[in-house]
């Protein structure tokens, strides 16, 4: 094994190998995939099997476990798929034992496992749009592309209300806001109120999350809109939910009294519950409405991270409900990253962030840019509005995931991992003239460093500061070009994070290339 297994992992693999059919159950993060690898290797070694089928519930887990198994020396090929909904029923527990074999469970109470588990774990549940909702989302994006200024901000809010909270929130805003209503054509308005568009498309994912964590003692569901909170209060009535809406709408003392009762397992709260109201501790937090604010992001997590005095340790869960391939995923990614940038140590499994990336449109842009292309081509390839693509490129550039070079046709964008492809295809714009001189200014936050002279002199000086600072946030280059006895100054800007000397060199080669200067 390339990884050293823990004692309980060895025990579990050996237990399974001794049986013709077996089921092993362990908590998230305890290393079940390594046990599977050991079991597979054992069966291969004993000549009992040659090919293996591994089933996972999501495409993310399929990809993740295939990569892990390959890293351990197994030939693993991912095949995406999903199981029919009719098979997800309560009879699985007995069916598993009948069809596969005896179940043995290693629980989180086992001290050998508990020491490896975090105090809390994050999970992501997808809440995809149906066909009618996807069409409505595209229509709203088209409107957003056509307007500008305050009107664009208003349509942007409408899009966010729709995918973050649900169509019920959008309908409420349209009915109350004459200005928003005037921006939406009649055919789009008809789709907003269509029966095929669900009032709360995340409701099914919420029910699934609550069922998957049925052993929770107290759950808090955070939503942004009062109308959605009231809708969830009605839909979850069988769980005796308590509604927290703020002091003007409810009696807070009565609500908190009910919330602390043992029979009240569900609290549905708007932002009033994030601060100012002393909600009871919870072992399950469900984030219905994703937000980018790091302060509010941290306040929400505090509802499950604080430990109750004298309470027995038990795992706690934070569940994010996200609408894939929309700005809803981007908001959650922004919240995670901004909180981390604010200095908060977030115990979010990197696998969760990777999963979010797989649901984000920004990931699609990054994948498309494995082949360098200009903005217009990327817009056509992605099918998204140009301004939305421009926003995504700005976000990716700020994190060093996307770079660009200047050409006579405009900026040529590329993923950070495709530098060789960029040089191969657009090498004529990366051939510097070493006789040219100029000035380059590298900026990091409020600090700046400048270098003057030829390309090599500038590169050496900036290279030393790049190693010292770790990164540049952007780079400005001015090059003096003399033609026909006339000297002119060419100014070029590179507004993306630079962390690698290869990227720094590529930028300077581009800036000192005469063909770029036209």
Average pLDDT over residues 402-422: 94
DSSP structural state of residue 164: I
Domain boundary residue, one of 363, 378, 407: 363
Whether the per-residue pLDDT at 475 is higher than 70: the answer is yes
CB of 283 within 8 A of CB of 304?
yes
Domain that holds residue 285: 203-363
Q: Is residue 461 part of a domain?
A: yes
394 and 512 share a domain?
yes
pLDDT at 130 over 70: yes
> Which sign does the torsion angle of CA 406, 408, 411, 412 carry?
negative
Q: Tell me, letter by letter, the H, E, C secondary structure of 355-416.
A: HHHHHCHHHHHHHHCCCCECHHHHHHHHCCCHHHHHHHHHHHHHCCCEEEEEECCEEEEEEH
The strand pairing partners of 126, in sequence order, are 322
Specify the range with the lowest mean pLDDT, choosing from 25-39, 273-287, 435-449, 461-475: 273-287
pLDDT band at 162 (very low <50, low <70, confident <90, very high): very high
Q: In the structure, what pLDDT confidence band is assigned to residue 293 with cuts at 50, 70 and 90?
A: low
Q: What does the alpha-carbon distance between residue 120 and residue 348 come to, in Å, rounded to a whole number?
A: 9
pLDDT higher at 29 or 415: 415
Most confidently modeled of 87-96, 234-243, 252-261?
Answer: 234-243
Most confident of 236-245, 324-333, 474-483: 474-483
CA torsion through residues 146, 151, 156, 161, sign: negative
Half-sphere exposure of 203 (CA within 13 A, CB side): 17
- The whole-number pLDDT of residue 213 equals 82
165 lies in the same domain as 231? no
Helix (H, G, I), strand (E, B) or coil at 349: coil
pLDDT at 425: 93
Q: Encode 62-83: b = buried (16+ Cβ within 10 Å), e = exposed.
A: bbbbbebbeebebebebeeeee
Percentage of residues in the chain having pLDDT higher than 70: 83
Rounded alpha-carbon distances, angstroms, from residue 158 to 203, 226, 306:
19, 16, 35
Say yes or no: 188 and 208 in one domain: no
Q: What does the DSSP assignment read for 284-316?
A: EEEESS----HHHHHHHHHHHHSPPTTPPP--E
Q: 299, 158, 157, 173: which is closest to 227 by C-alpha?
A: 173
pLDDT mean over 286-313: 63
Confidence of residue 200 (pLDDT cuts 50, 70, 90): very high
Cross-strand pairs, 269: 222, 244
pLDDT at 245: 78
pLDDT over 50 (residue 369): yes
Same domain, 391 and 474: yes
Exposure letters 142-173 (e unless 16+ CB within 10 A, then b): ebbbeeeeebbebbbebbbbbbbbbbbbbbbb
Question: Residue 325: what pLDDT?
Answer: 87
- Both ends of the chain: CA-CA distance in Å? 58
Helix (H) or strand (E) holding 82: none
The pLDDT of residue 186 is above 80: yes
Percent of the chain with pLDDT over 90: 47
Task: Tell me, yes or no, whether 311 and 448 share the same domain.
Answer: no
Residues 229 and 301 in one domain: yes
Same domain for 358 and 373, yes or no, is no
Least confident of 23-37, 151-165, 296-310, 317-331: 296-310
Are residues 399 and 464 part of one domain? yes
What's the pLDDT score for residue 407? 95
473 and 354: one domain?
A: no
Query: What pLDDT is stored for residue 28 in this prediction?
Result: 63
With bands split at pLDDT 50, 70 and 90, how would you rate the model's confidence at 272?
A: low
Report d(CA 357, CA 349) in Å as an integer: 13
Are 120 and 315 in contact by the 8 Å Cβ rule? The answer is yes
In 195-328, where do the E strands start and end? 219-222, 242-244, 266-269, 284-287, 316-322
pLDDT value of residue 11: 95
Domain membership of residue 454 (yes or no) is yes
Residue 214 CB neighbour total at 10 angstroms: 6
- What pLDDT score was predicted for residue 4? 87
* Counted domains in the chain: 4
Note whether 109 and 149 are same-domain residues: no
462 and 398 belong to one structural domain: yes
What is the distance between the alpha carbons of residues 422 and 414, in angstroms, rounded to a whole number? 7
- Together in a domain, 221 and 337: yes
C-alpha 286/C-alpha 306 separation (Å) is 16
pLDDT higher than 90, residue 132: yes
* Residue 496 predicted with pLDDT over 70: yes
The pLDDT assigned to 433 comes to 94
Q: Which two tokens stand for residue 495?
A: 């507004």
Q: Is 122 inside a domain boundary?
A: no
Domain boundary among 339, 363, 387: 363
**86, exposed or middle or buried, with CB in 10 Å at 0-12, 13-18, 19+?**
exposed
Residue 278 has pLDDT above 60, yes or no: no
Strands 284-287 and 266-269: unpaired
Residue 427 resides in a domain: yes
Residue 474 lies in a domain: yes
Say if residue 415's pLDDT is above 80: yes
Q: Look over the chain and give the mean of its residue pLDDT values, rounded to a whole number.
A: 84
Average pLDDT on 121-135 reads 90
pLDDT of residue 88: 43
Residue 2 lies in a domain: no
Domain end (from 313, 346, 363): 363
pLDDT digits (tens, 9 = 90+) for 55-102: 876 655 677 788 888 888 888 887 754 444 444 444 457 766 777 788
Say if residue 208's pLDDT is above 80. Answer: yes
Q: What is the mean pLDDT of residues 240-256?
A: 74
Q: At what angle do helices 327-341 and 294-305 cross, to 10 degrees?
A: 80
pLDDT of residue 285: 87
Average pLDDT over residues 7-32: 88
Question: Is 197 part of any domain?
Answer: no
Asked whether the beta carbons of 462 and 442 are under 8 A apart, the reply is yes
Question: What is the pLDDT, as a whole number, of residue 17?
Answer: 94
Residue 149 in any domain: the answer is: yes
Distance separating alpha carbons of residues 393 and 361, to the nearest angstrom: 11
- Tell me what the mean pLDDT of segment 207-216 comes to: 85
Average pLDDT over residues 192-211: 94
Give the least confident one: 13-17, 224-228, 254-258. 254-258
pLDDT higher than threshold 60 for residue 277: no
Question: What is the structure's pLDDT at 97?
Answer: 75
Residue 276, domain CATH: 3.40.50.300
């Amino acid at each position: 094994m390339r990884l050293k297994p823990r004692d309980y992992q060895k025990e579990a693999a050996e237990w399974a190998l001794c049986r013709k059919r077996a089921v092993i159950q362990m908590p998230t993060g305890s290393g079940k995939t390594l046990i599977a690898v050991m079991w597979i290797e054992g069966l291969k070694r004993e000549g009992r099997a040659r090919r293996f089928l591994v089933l996972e519930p999501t495409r993310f887990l399929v990809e993740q476990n295939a990569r892990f198994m390959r890293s351990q020396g197994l030939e693993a090929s991912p095949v995406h798929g999903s199981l029919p909904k009719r098979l997800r029923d309560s009879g699985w527990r007995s069916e598993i034992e009948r069809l596969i074999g005896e179940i043995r469970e290693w629980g989180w109470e086992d001290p050998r496992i508990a020491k490896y588990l975090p105090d809390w774990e994050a999970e992501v549940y997808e809440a995809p749009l149906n066909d009618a909702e996807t069409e409505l989302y595209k229509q709203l994006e088209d409107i957003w592309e056509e307007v500008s200024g305050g009107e664009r901000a208003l349509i942007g809010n409408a899009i966010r209300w729709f995918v973050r909270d649900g169509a019920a929130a959008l309908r409420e805003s349209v009915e109350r806001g004459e200005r928003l209503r005037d921006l939406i054509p009649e055919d789009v308005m008809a789709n907003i109120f269509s029966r095929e568009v669900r009032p709360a498309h995340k409701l099914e994912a919420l029910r699934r999350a609550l069922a998957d964590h049925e052993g929770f003692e107290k759950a808090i569901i955070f939503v942004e809109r009062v109308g959605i909170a009231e809708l969830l209060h009605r839909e979850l009535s069988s769980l005796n939910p308590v509604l927290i809406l703020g002091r003007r709408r409810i009696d807070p003392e009565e609500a908190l009294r009910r919330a602390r009762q043992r029979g009240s397992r569900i609290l549905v709260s708007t932002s009033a519950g994030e601060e100012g109201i002393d909600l009871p501790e919870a072992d399950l937090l469900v984030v219905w409405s994703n937000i980018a604010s790091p302060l509010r992001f941290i306040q929400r997590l505090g509802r499950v991270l604080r430990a109750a005095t004298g309470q027995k340790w038990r795992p706690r869960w934070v569940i994010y409900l996200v609408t894939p391939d929309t700005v809803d995923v981007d908001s959650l990614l922004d919240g995670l990253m901004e909180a981390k940038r604010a200095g908060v140590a977030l115990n979010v499994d990197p696998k969760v962030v990777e999963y979010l990336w797989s649901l984000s449109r920004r990931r699609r842009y990054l994948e498309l840019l494995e082949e360098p292309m200009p903005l217009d081509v990327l817009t056509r390839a992605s099918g998204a509005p140009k301004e939305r693509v421009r926003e995504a490129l700005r976000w990716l550039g700020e994190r060093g995931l996307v770079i660009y070079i200047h050409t006579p046709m405009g900026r040529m964008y590329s993923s950070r991992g495709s530098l060789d492809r960029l040089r191969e295809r657009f090498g004529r714009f990366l051939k510097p003239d070493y006789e040219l001189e100029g000035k380059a200014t590298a900026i990091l936050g409020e600090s700046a460093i400048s270098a003057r002279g030829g390309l090599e002199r500038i590169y050496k000086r900036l290279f030393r500061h790049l190693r010292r600072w770790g990164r540049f946030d952007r780079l400005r280059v001015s090059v003096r070009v003399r033609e026909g006895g006339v000297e002119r100054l060419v100014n070029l800007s590179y507004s993306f994070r630079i962390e690698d000397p290869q990227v720094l060199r590529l930028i300077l080669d581009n800036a000192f290339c005469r063909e770029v200067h036209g």
